[in-house]
Amino acid sequence: MSIKKLKEKYLLISKYNTAATLLEWDFETHMPKKAAEKRAEVIGEISSKAFEISISDEMGELLENADKEELNEVEKAIIKVGKKEYEKFKKIPKELFKEMNISSSKAQSAWEEAKLKNNFNIFKPYLEKVVALTKKMADYLGYEENRYDALLDLYEPGLKTSELRKVIEPLRSFLVEYLNKLDKGKKTNNSILKEYFPIEKQKELSLRALKLMKYDFDAGRMDISMHPFTTTIGPNDVRITTRYNEKDLNDSLYSTIHEGGHALYEQGIPEGFSGLPIGDGASMAIHESQSRFWENIIGRSLEFWKYFYNDLVDIFPEFKNHTPEEIFKAVNYVERSFIRTEADEVTYNLHIMLRFEIEEALINDKIKVEDLPKIWNEKMKEYLGVVPENDSEGVLQDVHWAHGSFGYFPSYMLGNLYSAQFYNKMKKDIPDLNEQISNGNFEIVLNWLREKIHSKGKMYEPGELVEIVTGEPLSSKYFIEYIENKFNKVYEL
Amino acid sequence: MSIKKLKEKYLLISKYNTAATLLEWDFETHMPKKAAEKRAEVIGEISSKAFEISISDEMGELLENADKEELNEVEKAIIKVGKKEYEKFKKIPKELFKEMNISSSKAQSAWEEAKLKNNFNIFKPYLEKVVALTKKMADYLGYEENRYDALLDLYEPGLKTSELRKVIEPLRSFLVEYLNKLDKGKKTNNSILKEYFPIEKQKELSLRALKLMKYDFDAGRMDISMHPFTTTIGPNDVRITTRYNEKDLNDSLYSTIHEGGHALYEQGIPEGFSGLPIGDGASMAIHESQSRFWENIIGRSLEFWKYFYNDLVDIFPEFKNHTPEEIFKAVNYVERSFIRTEADEVTYNLHIMLRFEIEEALINDKIKVEDLPKIWNEKMKEYLGVVPENDSEGVLQDVHWAHGSFGYFPSYMLGNLYSAQFYNKMKKDIPDLNEQISNGNFEIVLNWLREKIHSKGKMYEPGELVEIVTGEPLSSKYFIEYIENKFNKVYEL
């Protein structure tokens, strides 16, 4: 039976992936600093071993042969996803992969320097090289309508640029206008979250939030890293990290809840899928829908704070002077700002649209790398009404392009849209959802996500999944509804 | 150049070893418990990959060809040690390795159950199997005088059973007699170390001890595990673990110092040796000499406590009521006890001799597995004057035999002897050593160890090394002197 052998091969690869992932996790969380230099080489060796097996001719034959056998639904999905991955890597010449690795590594160093020195020109030639290689890759991967489709498909399988535009356009108009509306609402601020909060207590608060969400600490753990992340080391081993800022309660708590959302997804994928091509989230954006769901739709709701208020006051008694409503307003403070990663729910997607439009134009030769700073600032002015004072806070703020991760940014926005669309369906399925949340019953939320989304792993493309779950294709309608509903309250409109 | 290719091959192997070692470290320190089941398989896969390369024909050819090239001293040592390792594994049929792995794994489970239920018969058939396989291994490895030599050589390269006996016999007579003498000394006890000591404070004390020893925290870290250990993940990454018992200050502090001694050795091996056959300690016993040196000769000295007393009182002010002399006496309390791992410096080697004599007799068919409990108890009576009430506290206390690690126990004793012999030489080289230690100058100690021992890595066999360092072959004379000198003070003889 080829299907049996194929599964064994995937499980073998997954062992190397476990080792590589643990080496990376350790790099970010525990490794003594002098060990850094050599560690990258070890990660490289182990990862390339996994990659080598995954693109071997034997793997290709197993996939072909297994496809001819009598298979159940799950096995069919394994073949479908496995073949797509296999063919993708077979299409791109090894030399191009290598060139990309070297160029993106150099581009990252140049980006770091450029950002530090606030000088886009340092980054420019390296970015040009990465863009050129990315275009080559896209051409090898192939597309029908738009070269950018080939890249988008790497992160959001099946989604077309034209479809993405249809979702974006009404959303952009709404957001730009709605921001103006908020200016006329009742002023609010987030100063109560910017006092002094000892790290040990913040950790306690984060752990309580994770427990409430039913994150399984026997199948994961929480550590500290510079940039919070979630990583699946192996079956029953899904770890998150967070970070602490003594003068910002928002940062650690919502980083933790966000990563907790990713982790619940991973912990909810059936154990039998583990290590197989379907043993993943459906896409980057569906993954992001889970983290944003917990972070924003749950964690930044009034209902959440009605319940979690007691924990907050228990750990930080100074909040006795504030009501759950005040905290709700503080965590939903909206600001026209420069930095994507610090953006609120209303402005966040505008930051993404700007990046999507720029990268789509770059990949299709409609603009040049040298024009990026100018275009960036123009679009900032148009969408957000503010212009960064320097490129470090503008076009140089994100590392993604240095990595060659074109096509990735839309996932962040799509995650927000999916989460609102799922939320809309969840409210229909659980009519007293708000009350349940106010009472701290987060299990009902998790169970719904488990049944509808987590348990499916990567069996379906995101477009299929959203239809299965909500009965409709992706739409920005529910996100718009959600934003209006929430921020009208926050700003008393 | 074959030597260049050979080194590259070793560095490749070392990458897999880094991955496997990190997976094991994580298993013992951080891994969520539900991940345990699958983790062992991952460690197995990565380790066997490293092993596969190390015994490949290509490796054998590289060793042969490099040996014919013009080499420097370090390269010659690489070939010498590398060839010995290579040939050792080539001599043993793969099937036998496999059988041993399976049998020892089963034996370990049986041992756990037998110990829990205090029933040697549960363990007996499994141990018989492991002993039979070990004898086969020894025969494949080969020996001249004594089958046990083949096993001893695995841990203490070059040492013969007959030589070991010559060292042991005078030591045993002395220790048995000296224990009787101590009975007539002034009574002492360790009750001041058995109060309540919060874990956070114990951790602080352990960290201060490591800092004093100049353990490099930028090239290592300290975590918690059930059984303390030291592990070298890779270059500049030597980690230790310790454990805490709220009612025993002794346990964490001396576990930390012990592991710190191992770690200083590893941190002191030249970076250029890393990953190569010479990038290790000279032997198990030389390694143990370093840990025991810091734990006992330094850490349990009056001079150490004259200096470290201030740190102790700073963290645990209750010790203000005791003098450094009282603490010195408490940490050197001698007791005729059953458990090797809890034994003091006077009785410890007697526990080892008993094990050595039993395992040497087993391997040479002079006794049978079924007779072990009886022989154990007879020897306990003879050497230590006490007999355990049950086998769990007797013959079943150690896991080593279940693992098939025959030949390992003597390393513990040899470590004590080497440490005293090194100490004797150090005192000659540094006439005011005691004063230096009282003043907290541990760097002078470390520098001596670095120059004489650490910097040599595994270039020399332990027998050669001890001659190079001290000008004499291994002897128990210095250990006897050291014991008398110290415990005459403790017991006011």
What ipTM was assigned to the predicted interfaces of this complex? 0.94
Q: Is A258 annotated as a binding residue?
A: yes
Claim to verify: residue A323 and residue A417 sit in the same structural domain: yes
Question: What sign results for the dihedral spanned by CA atoms B470, B476, B480, B486?
Answer: positive
pLDDT in tens, B318-365: 999 999 999 999 999 999 999 999 999 999 999 999 999 999 999 999
d(CA B263, CA B241): 10
Claim to verify: residue A77 and residue A183 sit in the same structural domain: no
State whether A42 and B15 contact (CB < 8 Å). yes
Claim to verify: residue A299 and residue A220 sit in the same structural domain: yes
The residues near B41 (Cβ < 8 Å, ≥ 6 apart) are A15
Report if residue A392 sits inside a domain.
Answer: yes
- B146-180 b/e with 16+ CB inside 10 Å = b? bbbbbbbbbbbbebbbebbeebbeebbebbeebbe
Claim to verify: residue B206 and residue B297 sit in the same structural domain: yes
State whether A26 and B26 contact (CB < 8 Å). yes
The chain A residues in contact with chain B (CB within 8 A) are: 12, 15-16, 18-20, 22-23, 26, 30-35, 37-39, 41-42, 45-46, 49, 216-221, 233-237, 239
Confidence of residue B282 (pLDDT cuts 50, 70, 90): very high
Q: Is A246 annotated as a binding residue?
A: no
- Domain closes at, from B55, B78, B101: B78
**Nearest CB partner across the interface for B32, out of A31, A32, A219:** A219
The residues near A87 (Cβ < 8 Å, ≥ 6 apart) are none
State whether B31 and A237 contact (CB < 8 Å). yes
CATH of the domain at A361: 1.10.1370.30
Tell me, letter by letter, the H, E, C secondary structure of chain B: CHHHHHHHHHHHHHHHHHHHHHHHHHHHHCCCHHHHHHHHHHHHHHHHHHHHHHCCHHHHHHHHHHHCCCCCHHHHHHHHHHHHHHHHHHHCCHHHHHHHHHHHHHHHHHHHHHHHHCCHHHHHHHHHHHHHHHHHHHHHHCCCCCHHHHHHHHHCCCCCHHHHHHHHHHHHHHHHHHHHHHHCCCCCCCHHHCCCCCHHHHHHHHHHHHHHHCCCHHHCCEEECCCCCEEEEECCEEEEEECCECCEHHHHHHHHHHHHHHHHHHHHCCHHHCCCCCCCCCCHHHHHHHHHHHHHHHCCCHHHHHHHHHHHHHHCHHHHHCCHHHHHHHCCCCCCCCCHHHCCHHHHHHHHHHHHHHHHHHHCCCCCHHHHHHHHHHHHHHHHCCCCCCHHHCCCCCCHHHHCCCCCHHHHHHHHHHHHHHHHHHHHHCCCHHHHHHCCCCHHHHHHHHHHCHHHCCCCCHHHHHHHHHCCCCCCHHHHHHHHHHHHHHCCC
Contacts of B217 in chain A (CB under 8 A): 32
A359 is catalytic: no
What pLDDT is stored for residue A1 in this prediction? Answer: 84
Q: Which of B34, B47, B267 to mutate to test the interface with A (most CBs of A within 10 A)?
A: B34
Q: Residue A297 gets which letter from DSSP?
A: I
| Domain range for A251 | 146-493
Claim to verify: residue B267 and residue B388 sit in the same structural domain: yes
Lookup: tokens for A221: 């753990």
Report if residue B124 sits inside a domain.
Answer: no
What pLDDT is stored for residue B1 in this prediction? Answer: 85
Checking if the pLDDT of B417 tops 90, the result is yes
State whether B19 and A23 contact (CB < 8 Å). yes
d(CA B238, CA B242): 14
d(CA B423, CA B479): 9
pLDDT in tens, B16-26: 999 999 999 99
What pLDDT is stored for residue B146 in this prediction? Answer: 98
Where is A28: in which H helix or E strand? helix A2-29
**Nearest CB partner across the interface for B33, out of A35, A218, A235:** A218
What pLDDT is stored for residue A37 in this prediction? Answer: 86
Contacts of A8 in chain B (CB under 8 A): none
In terms of CA atoms, which chain A residue is nearest residue B40?
A15
In terms of CA atoms, which chain B residue is nearest residue A50?
B46
Claim to verify: residue B375 and residue B464 sit in the same structural domain: yes
d(CA B173, nearest CA chain A) in Å: 47
What are the residue ranges in chain A where pLDDT is below 70?
none
Q: Please answer whether residues B462 and B289 qualify as being in contact, where contact means their C-beta atoms are separated by less than 8 angstroms.
A: no
Other beta carbons within 10 angstroms of residue A136's beta carbon come to: 15
Report if residue A489 sits inside a domain.
Answer: yes
The chain B residues in contact with chain A (CB within 8 A) are: 12, 15-16, 18-20, 22-23, 26, 30-35, 37-39, 41-42, 45-46, 49, 216-221, 233-237, 239
In terms of CA atoms, which chain A residue is nearest residue B220?
A32
**Nearest CB partner across the interface for A39, out of B23, B218, B234:** B234
What pLDDT is stored for residue A190 in this prediction? Answer: 95
Claim to verify: residue A24 and residue A153 sit in the same structural domain: no
pLDDT in tens, B442-490: 999 999 999 999 999 999 999 999 999 999 999 999 999 999 999 999 9
Report if residue B28 sits inside a domain.
Answer: yes
Report if residue A101 sits inside a domain.
Answer: no
State whether B31 and A220 contact (CB < 8 Å). no
Q: How many pairs of residues across A and B have Cβ atoms under 8 Å apart?
A: 101
d(CA A91, nearest CA chain B) in Å: 29
Checking if the pLDDT of B37 tops 90, the result is no
What pLDDT is stored for residue A45 in this prediction? Answer: 95
Q: Please answer whether residues B255 and B271 qualify as being in contact, where contact means their C-beta atoms are separated by less than 8 angstroms.
A: no
Contacts of A200 in chain B (CB under 8 A): none
Claim to verify: residue A53 and residue A160 sit in the same structural domain: no
State whether A12 and B45 contact (CB < 8 Å). yes
Report if residue A196 sits inside a domain.
Answer: yes
State whether B22 and A22 contact (CB < 8 Å). yes
Q: Specify the number of domains making up chain B.
A: 2
What pLDDT is stored for residue A347 in this prediction? Answer: 98
In terms of CA atoms, which chain B residue is nearest residue A44?
B15
Claim to verify: residue B379 and residue B251 sit in the same structural domain: yes
Claim to verify: residue B256 and residue B370 sit in the same structural domain: yes
Report if residue B92 sits inside a domain.
Answer: no
The residues near A440 (Cβ < 8 Å, ≥ 6 apart) are A212, A307, A308
pLDDT > 90: what percent of chain A?
Answer: 98
Lookup: tokens for A96: 């191009």
State whether A217 and B32 contact (CB < 8 Å). yes
Claim to verify: residue A290 and residue A432 sit in the same structural domain: yes
For residue B381, with 0-12 CB atoms within 10 Å meaning exposed, 13-18 middle and 19 or more buried, which class applies?
Answer: exposed
**Nearest CB partner across the interface for B235, out of A19, A35, A46:** A35
Q: Which of A23, A29, A240 to mutate to test the interface with B (most CBs of B within 10 A)?
A: A23
Nearest C-alpha neighbor of A140 from the set A94, A102, A79: A94
For B73-88, what is the mean pLDDT? 96
| 3 state DSSP class of A100 | helix
d(CA B491, nearest CA chain A) in Å: 44
Q: Which of B12, B13, B22, B230 to mutate to test the interface with A (most CBs of A within 10 A)?
A: B22
Claim to verify: residue A71 and residue A190 sit in the same structural domain: no
Contacts of A216 in chain B (CB under 8 A): 34
Q: Which of B23, B28, B48, B217 to mutate to test the interface with A (most CBs of A within 10 A)?
A: B23
- Domain closes at, from A44, A73, A91: A91
- Domain closes at, from B58, B78, B98: B78
Q: Is A262 annotated as a binding residue?
A: yes
Q: Please answer whether residues A160 and A360 qualify as being in contact, where contact means their C-beta atoms are separated by less than 8 angstroms.
A: no
| Catalytic, out of B24, B75, B156, B259 | B259
| Catalytic, out of A259, A345, A359, A461 | A259
**Nearest CB partner across the interface for A19, out of B23, B236, B237:** B23
Report if residue A104 sits inside a domain.
Answer: no
